[in-house]
Structure 1
Amino acid sequence: MEWYRLKLMGLKSSKIRVLMAECQRYNDIFIKLEELIETLNLTKDDTDLILNSKKCEKYLEMMDYLEKNKIGLLDINDYRYPENLKNIAKPPLFLFYKGNIELLNKERLISIIGTRRATKYGELGCEKIVKDLVDGDVVVVSGLALGIDSIAHNETLKYKGNTVAVLGCGIDIYYPKTNISLRKEIEKNGVVISEFPLGMNPTPGNFPIRNRIIAGLSKGTIIIESSLKGGSLITANLSLEEGRDVFALPGDITYPFSQGCNNLIKLSQAKLLTSGEDILNEYNWSKKNREGEKLNKLIGIKLKIYNTLKTKMHLEEIKREISCNTSELLSNLMELEIEGYVQSLPAGYYRRRL
């Protein structure tokens, strides 16, 4: 973490990067500083910044803040730094994090991104994909933005899965405000990360920088609804440049926010995706036997309702099969929906979720 002293002193990231490549530890710089000055062409200003970093008061203040707020800091030489991220063109030198940092080195990481203005089709598609991924023990990576990002995080947490939120601002900045409670839940049950310095507010230029981390952490990236010039396509292109897989949910050819996904598929830049199982099959990842375990917990009228719902059915159709009064049936359907077994649809229809 002491490498961050150089960042706080204002030494250029390019200079810090070469120093970190030459020295395993921060203190090693001072053991062979004269040699480094010559081999790396360090200027007098560079050298002064390096020497003064040993007495950097800002670093002590920052470390105190991080400790009080339970925020961690990784540098690229740390053994916990994610291997996937090391392999991109310009990996971040530093990562602030809050939560379970071990998730970043899991084998199964898939990112899900998309428009902030998701349609009902996009929401349902995202929910279906996420559930399959969680059943396959996949860590879901996204950007904590409104729309598809939020749905991906929320659905992962709902099914007790693991999720990573990559920020486009400093880790001490809570943005967007509407996602504060979601972010706090991710901090407890996943991990939130940022390469931006403390106090950095979100700006349009930050998000393409953030997106390279989303792509870099993941084995593949899923695009769910995007316009032809959407920010999600930036991440798709970054994924392709880094040799990662891209998947896209096809959509209505008349709808603007389906054009980006459809075009990626049309140009063979993305593989067509209709479920999370497509991802599991692509990488030969096994699916956990959660469904059988959950269904074994159903008893009585709930089990009867579930067994009856072999296809989409109207409330009156279910009532005829179950033979119970409407209030009792509605009460049990509501409980089944809360527990994740059943989904209510418009006009009084229901279907299974498992």
Structure 2
Amino acid sequence: MSIAHQIALTLIPGVGQATAKHLLAFFGSAEAVFEAAVSDLLMAQGVGIAIANQIASKHVLIQAEAEQRYVEKHDIKVLFYTAGDYPQRLKECSDAPVLLYYKGAADLNQRRMLSVVGTRMATAYGKQLCMELAETLKTYGVLVVSGLAYGIDIAAHRESLRNNIPTVGVLGHGLDRIYPYHHKQIAQDMLERGGLLSEFPTNTMPDRENFPKRNRIIAGLSDATLVVEATIKGGALITAELANSYNRDVYAFPGRVNDPYSQGCNFMIKTNRAALINAPKDLLYYLGWDDVKEPKEPAQQQLLFGLSPEEARVMDLLKSAPLLIDELASKSAIPQGKLAIHLLNLEMQGLLISLPGKRYKVH
């Protein structure tokens, strides 16, 4: 089947997701739609004379062929609604896109997938929750989905990368750009273990109206949606409402009653739109993901044998609980300047995690 015809089906003026699916069902393929006569096109549900003439003119095929050349040049996959590699959870949603553009290595039909959303003005509390979430999920074979936006989104992606969790960012524009631009490096890092996904072709700007459309993909891709922090209005609550409409599980961390960035979470919990979780392990329990843990990679244990005596002393001190760098220096009798170098080396090896306030803990 021609990729250009599949792309062209999404570019016809006046044809939305529902009409495109009616055309596919009626004619059997995107190619057959463009080969049909106007009289036959008018027999399909939702197709009037203006749309029939647009299809028959084949003008959109020129744009689609240019788009095909771009995606092939940049190793972007075109995931069509009727193909086997299309995300099956998303396909269950009535408003699922007919076509998706995807670049990355993650399996969009992975057995366990979780969408993580929240405010763009994430507090230290929200960022800490994202850190704890990733540390909990890293041995359970979960793929984390979010929107690459400021705040909770980027914290979820960043912590996933730190813990070797595959993570996919769903964009509100074409894959020829990254928005916000400051997240370009993280987006590039995500391609190695996760990916970037969009329903929008190249040259699509990150316009305001694109993000609610993006949110339905975030909600539809996963088994469940977790709201970490959210105001009473915003994209996070929209995504959660969409997940509820798809009969997907929605969870939320509670916050202080007077914290504006937790009002959305508290409201959803109070109105039974989301189940309350106090810790990431609650999420595993509710989803039934805590039955069998994926085997841990033995790399960390192997690395421990190659440590210097002072590095081994630091690791031993941190086994029981996180410590401040001052406490580590005192207990290990290692000068702070030298200790800082050891801590950096251990962190680069993935053995330690640096916490806010110059605290360190074993990974």
TM-score, normalised by the number of residues in structure 2: 0.87
Tell me how far 1:46 sits from its aligned partner.
Answer: 3.2
Provide closer, same or farther for how the CA distance between residues 214 and 345 of structure 1 changes in structure 2, counting only shifts above 3 A.
Answer: closer
For residues 11-53 of structure 1, what are the alpha-carbon distances to aligned partners after superposition, in whole Å with 9 as ceiling and x for unaligned? 5124322011233322334777555543547444333333332
For residues 63-102 of structure 1, what are the alpha-carbon distances to aligned partners after superposition, in whole Å with 9 as ceiling and x for unaligned? 11222222222221111111100111211111111123x5
CA distance in 1, matches of 2:102, 2:201: 12
Provide closer, same or farther for how the CA distance between residues 244 and 353 of structure 1 changes in structure 2, counting only shifts above 3 A.
Answer: farther
For residues 123-153 of structure 1, what are the alpha-carbon distances to aligned partners after superposition, in whole Å with 9 as ceiling and x for unaligned? 1111110222222110010001011111111
Q: How many residues align?
A: 352
AA partner of residue 214 (structure 1): I
CA distance in 1, matches of 2:115, 2:183: 18
- Structure 1 position 288 matched with structure 2 position 289: no
Q: Which moved more, 1:201-210 or 1:30-39?
A: 30-39
**Structure 1: gaps spanning 5 or more residues:** none
Is the 2:36–2:56 contact (alpha carbons within 8 Å) kept by the matching residues of 1?
no
In structure 2, what is the equivalent of residue 140 of structure 1?
144
In structure 2, what is the equivalent of residue 7 of structure 1?
10
AA partner of residue 31 (structure 2): N
In structure 1, what is the equivalent of residue 101 of structure 2?
96
AA partner of residue 73 (structure 2): K
In structure 2, what is the equivalent of residue 249 of structure 1?
253
CA distance in 2, matches of 1:30, 1:347: 62
In structure 2, what is the equivalent of residue 105 of structure 1?
109
TM-score, normalised by the number of residues in structure 1: 0.89
Partner of 1:73, secondary structure, is: strand
CA distance in 1, matches of 2:248, 2:42: 38
In structure 2, what is the equivalent of residue 80 of structure 1?
85
Partner of 1:129, secondary structure, is: helix
Partner of 1:105, secondary structure, is: coil
AA partner of residue 6 (structure 2): W
Q: Which moved more, 1:269-278 or 1:141-150?
A: 269-278
Tell me how far 1:291 sits from its aligned partner.
Answer: 7.3
Is the 1:163–1:186 contact (alpha carbons within 8 Å) kept by the matching residues of 2?
yes
Q: Which moved more, 1:23-32 or 1:183-192?
A: 23-32
Task: Find the partner of 1:47 among 44, 52, 65.
Answer: 52
In structure 2, what is the equivalent of residue 162 of structure 1?
166
- Percent of paired sites with the same residue: 33
CA distance in 1, matches of 2:70, 2:81: 21
Partner of 2:28, secondary structure, is: coil
In structure 2, what is the equivalent of residue 66 of structure 1?
71
Partner of 1:139, secondary structure, is: strand
CA RMSD of aligned residues (A): 2.6
Is the 2:253–2:278 contact (alpha carbons within 8 Å) kept by the matching residues of 1?
yes
More helix by share: 1
AA partner of residue 229 (structure 2): E
Provide closer, same or farther for how the CA distance between residues 338 and 267 of structure 1 changes in structure 2, counting only shifts above 3 A.
Answer: farther
